[in-house]
Amino acid sequence: MTADLDFNPPRPHPYPDEVTAGFWEAAQQRTLAIQQCGDCGTFMHYPSALCTNCQSENLGFSEVSGRGTVYSFAIVRHSFHPAFTPPYVIALIDLDDAPGVRMYTNIVDVDPEAVRIDMPVRVTFEDIGDGTLIPQFMPA
Amino acid sequence: MRKVAVSGVGYSEITRGGIPPSPERLALIAAKNAMRDAGVTGADVDGIFEYSFGYDSPMATYVQKGLGIPNLVVFQDIMGSGPSGLASAMAAYMAVASGMCETAIVYRCITQAAGNTGSIAAVPPPPAPGPNGMSEALVYGVQALIPSMGMRMQRRMHDYGASLEDWGHIAVNARKWSADNERAVLRKPVTMEDYLSSRMLAEPLHLLDCDLPVNGACAAVITTAERAADLPTTPVYIDSMAFGTGSRPDWSVGDDFLFGGTINCGETLWERSSFTPADVDLLELYDGFTHITISWVEALQLCGLGEFGDWVDGGRTINPGGRVPLNTHGGQLAEGRLHGLAHLTEAVLQLRGECGPRQVPNAKVAAIGNAHGPQAGAMIVSTERSGS
């Protein structure tokens, strides 16, 4: 991938590290996997280096259904980055089967004006240009 | 713990545009003016605390050199994860109260270029490393805080039945006060209609919900109450201060999305204070975004959670002549973004009775709140010497 860094920066990509890689590797397999403590079962997102409940280091990633509801959202009307064309919807999603987990996303395949708080959504995966897949959500 | 006072405040000029400013010059001018105001020289100062993003403000030892301070027994360059510019004064308070130093200079210098980064200017973003909300958000086109503030407003309307006019009262109020502040960059009045018709950035967040990046610096001199008594200015005592982060702190997925750490911060502050919310004569509350200001009004218990819309009474509560004047310099929305510390320096000038046409009569107690999310900080200052 080439880009003119001064005037045409590439779309920001995930930057997996040893803590977060499990989340992004699962996305590449079209799976939504959330970090879960192997000892107490607590789900965490963003991934943490210790269980935020029991401080265990026994952490893994568990596949979840990818269903959730909109906690909040905003319709972006201003261009904050050349790789994103307004209007687009950013949102925080509460996952149905990963208690306590709220995650950033875009809501895609929807009229932005139709998005509502508490709206049911499900995960989908978007190729952001070079084969990299990221989790996105769409109306359920 | 020793009693601590603010004995001097100072500013550089506050501007937009022009040739690139020198942060070093702006910080030195503000600090020099604060020292003159307090009647101290370099030989009297033994501590410096400053808050910066890194490239927008000179480090403490550079400023030490320019001010002719022979040695620093304590200093700190505080990074951007603290409660904005007030963090410098909070650190100085702790150092002076504990006896680690006698007289400290604090400053916040910020430039328009730094202030624009990640705001409404389209700039190349940093890469997205590490497990935290700010970096993952970039992948989804969420640059800095504007879209996430829009989401807070959306959720507040859902949870509390808030209206857009609630935030509009903050924006309109800012210009009512800045009309009488010669430092302010924006002094032209705006109406509620202007607010509601301003450009939509991240619906429901409008352009007039956002503060104004500027080039400028402000500074304060913080010392013991004993030393302050021998200086020419009226001492403004630091009654209490507190930080607050909230549980599982994070800008986007912390446990309290609407209020961040402000509620915890307010609770701790009032536990430590010799005053109560009913004693507050004026509020100087962070207004990088109008949502933050409303959070602070409620977190500092001026009204109940979700009750701001009734409390503000169409703006009458906070406007000039109101019961609890708010952001009497016009805040960052109108004076310009000096990033939090100017909320303290304005409070000091008000309590000293030196604010001319915008002076709040008989003001004795001011509450200051800074930042939001996982990095809240607050302070009560007063000309009344109470407590220890």
Q: What does the alpha-carbon distance between residue B348 and residue B45 come to, in Å, rounded to a whole number?
A: 20
Residue B278 in contact with partner chain A when CB distance is under 8 A = no
Q: Tell the residue number behind the tokens 């505080």, with chain if given.
A: B78
> In terms of Cα–Cα distance, which of B42, B172, B195, B171 is closest to B104?
B42
Any domain includes B120? no
Q: Tell the residue number behind the tokens 């204070």, with chain if given.
A: B273
* Secondary structure, 3-state, A71-137: EEEEEECCCCCCCCCCCEEEEEEEECCCCCCEEEEEECCCCHHHCCCCCEEEEEEEECCCCCEEEEE
Give the alpha-carbon dihedral of B352, B356, B359, B365, to 10 degrees.
-10
Q: How many domains does chain B have?
A: 1
Cis peptide before A46 (omega within 30 of 0): yes
Q: Which two tokens stand for residue A101?
A: 């987990």
ipTM for the predicted complex: 0.94
Inter-chain touch A76–B154, beta carbons under 8 Å: no
pLDDT, residue B145, reads 84
Query: CB-CB: which of A81, A102, A103 is closest to B125?
Result: A81
Any domain includes B143? no
pLDDT, residue B126, reads 47
Which residues does residue B191 pair with via DSSP β-bridges, in sequence order?
Answer: none
Any domain includes B149? no
Residue B316 in contact with partner chain A when CB distance is under 8 A = no
Confidence grade of residue B327 (pLDDT, cut at 50, 70, 90): very high
* Secondary structure, 3-state, B255-291: CCCCCCCHHHHHHHHHHHCCCCHHHCCEEEECCCEHH
Residues of chain B found within 8 Å of residue A9, distances taken between Cβ atoms: 124-125
CA-based nearest distance A83→chain B, Å = 8
Any domain includes B233? yes
SS3 B294: helix
Query: CB-CB: which of A9, A71, A90 is closest to B147?
Result: A90
Residue A24: its H or E element: helix A21-28
Inter-chain touch B128–A12, beta carbons under 8 Å: yes
pLDDT, residue B132, reads 53
SS3 content of chain B, % helix, strand, coil (to 5): 35, 20, 45
Any domain includes B258? yes
Q: How many CB atoms lie within 10 A of CB B288?
A: 24
Any domain includes B174? no
Q: What does the alpha-carbon distance between residue B256 and residue B236 come to, in Å, rounded to a whole number?
A: 33
CATH number of the structural domain spanning residue B26: 3.40.47.10
Residue B253 in contact with partner chain A when CB distance is under 8 A = yes
Confidence grade of residue A4 (pLDDT, cut at 50, 70, 90): very low
Average the pLDDT over each of A49-63, A69-83, B208-222 and give the range with the smallest value: A69-83
B324 or A4: whose pLDDT is higher?
Answer: B324
Per residue in B109-136, pLDDT tens? 998 877 655 444 334 444 444 445 556 7
Any domain includes B201? no
Q: Which residue of A has its CA nearest to B247?
A: A52
Any domain includes B264? yes
Q: What does the alpha-carbon distance between residue A40 and residue B5 come to, in Å, rounded to a whole number?
A: 49
Inter-chain touch B141–A105, beta carbons under 8 Å: no
CA-based nearest distance B346→chain A, Å = 32
Domain of B59, in residue numbers: 4-115+213-380
Q: What does the alpha-carbon distance between residue A124 and residue A139 come to, in Å, rounded to a whole number?
A: 10
Residues of chain A found within 8 Å of residue B138, distances taken between Cβ atoms: 12
Query: CB-CB: which of B122, B152, B153 is closest to A81?
Result: B122
What mean pLDDT is reported for chain B? 93
Question: Which residues 231-250 on chain B approach chain A with CB closer than 8 angstroms?
Answer: 248, 250
Find out whether B373 and B251 touch, Cβ atoms under 8 Å: yes
Per residue in B23-40, pLDDT tens? 999 999 999 999 999 999
Q: Which DSSP letter does residue B127 get?
A: P
CA-based nearest distance A130→chain B, Å = 14
Per residue in A19-39, pLDDT tens? 889 999 999 999 999 999 999
- Phi first, then psi, for residue B158 (nearest 5°) are -70, -45
Residue B12 pLDDT greater than 50, yes or no: yes
